[in-house]
Amino acid sequence: MSELSRPDFDAIQLPAGKTPFLHLCWLLHNKCNHKCSYCAEINWGGNFENLSLEACKNFVQQARDHFHDRKLMVSFTGGEPTLWPNFGELVRWLKEDVNAVVMMTSNGTRHISYFKEIAKYFDWISFSYHPEFTRDEKFFENVIACSASTNLTVRVMFPPNPALFAKSKSFLDRLVQKQEQGEIPGFVKVESVPIAVGFGTEFTSPAKYNDEQDKVLFNSIREFNTEKLAVEAMPISQLRAYRTDHPDQENWFEPNELIAREKTNFYGWKCDIGIEQLFIDHLGQVVRAGCRVGGEIGYLSKGVFRFPTKAVYCPKQYCHCITDILTTKRSPEWLAKIENESMSIGDRAVTYLNSIRYDWMTQITRIEREGTNDISDMTLSATGKLMNFAPMVLYRTWYFILRVFVYTRVWTMRFLIRVFYARVFWKPYFFIRYQYRKRILKLDKPEA
């Protein structure tokens, strides 16, 4: 693949006058019955307590009150969301009482009877195929059953490992064959998904694939039985993009193809994460998005949230999350030419410092995942971990200097006043006095 590069457009946004969803992307817990090698342990370790149902409902109500003009869309991910104890009750409440658009991403391992019962509460279900653990026949049964009740996406994970890649390709071919034989009753969208190194952390980078593997990933989207798609319930799965030379002309792109072609470098773009979407992790921490750019908004356990009102500038050079990619964002060129807006010096400095941190920590994540005995890599890792604390050190240093100035401002002002007083008043006074005394003494001196 080529080096990370920016996409072939300048803005991602909805048409004028159309209000976006408020998208809550929710990682309910970090428990999963799969332990995929390409997934960070933080996603499946199961070493944290479950969030309470009351705290979840309280957060949803506060988000609705703040973003009162938005239609609510909630997508659950994990870990495996169906293993959360109160999952069924929360989903029913969101659908029946809140009237939200409800979606989830599942590994599809629960019994077919479970999915038949719960599918009616979902507008969209996404099944992820993981070649290391998924049992193909059981997975096919759940795909067929759920496609009859709701819109369905099958996301086939393609790890670079040749054996696992071949297994995913075989499954994909069988899925196409079953559709051709009429075994799939409803709409199904199939996506070939490239793996991100460090998935589940905020420091991700694209995995390395060979040329033959790239060809499979580049032809990544298939849709079956499109005439049965419930359009009114379909979330935004394609993005509307615009260019500065033709700002009124819509261009449609598939997020997965942008990821596969490594065209998701949005460094310096102004992004509406925190305004169009929020991300809730397994600890109940609320942030703007899965990339965690922009800092925390609050915790479900505390029940107090500082919802953002402004967009942020992206400090990263790789965006791997479809939800994040679909969020409204504008390039510096678009802002300057179409919206007559430019990046302030402060925003430039903050974005640049954060980009240094993300670049270093992303390389460290890759080194730790892939392993190395190279002394230069180990030096990079050690130095990068120190660099991770650079923004905090700079902030604390500046805060200390500010406090010192505030606490000593009285003494500083006294010192300046004394200097001014001495130079403006006392110096002329002593000079005149000296000249006067010199003259008097000269006059009083007797003649020889």
- pLDDT at position 385, please? 47
Determine the pLDDT at residue 251: 86
Q: Tens digit of pLDDT for each residue in 97-106?
A: 999 999 999 9
Predicted confidence band of residue 233 (pLDDT cuts 50, 70, 90): very low
Q: Does the residue 4 lie in any domain?
A: no
Q: Residue 382 has what pLDDT? A: 47
- For 270-287, the pLDDT digits (tens) are 999 999 999 999 889 999
Average pLDDT over residues 204-211: 84
For the cut 80, the answer to whether the pLDDT of residue 397 exceeds it is no
Same domain as 311, residue 180: yes
Question: 306 pLDDT exceeds 90?
Answer: yes
Percent of the chain with pLDDT over 90: 32
pLDDT at 202 over 50: yes
**For residue 41, what pLDDT is reported?**
83
Q: Is residue 2 part of a domain?
A: no
The verdict on residue 277 lying in a domain is yes
What percent of the chain has pLDDT above 70?
A: 73
- pLDDT reported for residue 404: 64
Q: Is residue 347 part of a domain?
A: no
- 26 pLDDT higher than 90: yes
Question: Which range has the worst mean pLDDT, 10-19, 69-78, 343-352, 404-413?
Answer: 404-413
pLDDT at 402: 60
Res 23: pLDDT = 92
The answer to whether residues 304 and 373 belong to one domain is: no
In a domain, 287, yes or no: yes
- The pLDDT tens digits for 134-173 are 999 999 999 998 888 888 889 999 999 999 999 999 999 9
Is residue 416 domain-shared with residue 386, that is, in the same domain?
no
Round to whole Å and give the CA distance between 253 and 152.
20
Are 151 and 82 part of one and the same domain?
yes
443, amino acid identity: L
Is-contact 281 27, C-beta < 8 A? Answer: yes
Residue finishing a domain among 313, 337, 361: 337
Q: What is the CATH number of the domain that holds 102?
A: 3.20.20.70
pLDDT number for residue 224:
61
| Structural domain containing residue 146 | 11-337
* Count of the separate structural domains present in the chain: 3
Say if residue 289 is in the same domain as residue 196: yes
Average pLDDT, the chain: 80
Mark whether 43 and 84 lie in a shared domain.
yes
359-385 tens-digit pLDDT: 666 665 565 555 554 444 445 444 544
Q: What is the pLDDT of residue 185?
A: 85
Residue 344 counted as domain residue: no
Q: Considering only residues 320 and 226, tell me which one the structure prediction assigns the higher pLDDT.
A: 320
389 shares a domain with 412: no
Q: Does a structural domain hold residue 151? A: yes
231 and 110 together in one domain:
yes
316 pLDDT exceeds 70? Answer: yes
Least Cα distance to 80 among 105, 52, 101 occurs for 105
Tell whether 24 and 144 lie within a shared domain: yes
Same domain? 381 vs 289: no
Q: Are residues 63 and 196 in the same domain?
A: yes
Residues 331 and 372 in one domain: no
Q: What is the tens place of the pLDDT at every residue in 36-85? A: 888 888 788 877 778 899 999 999 999 999 998 888 999 998 889 999 99
Query: Does residue 25 carry a pLDDT above 90?
Result: yes
Check residue 428 and give its pLDDT.
Answer: 63
- Would you say residue 402 lies in a domain? no
Neighbouring residues of 191: CB distance < 8 A, sequence distance ≥ 6: 153, 154, 155, 156, 220, 221, 256
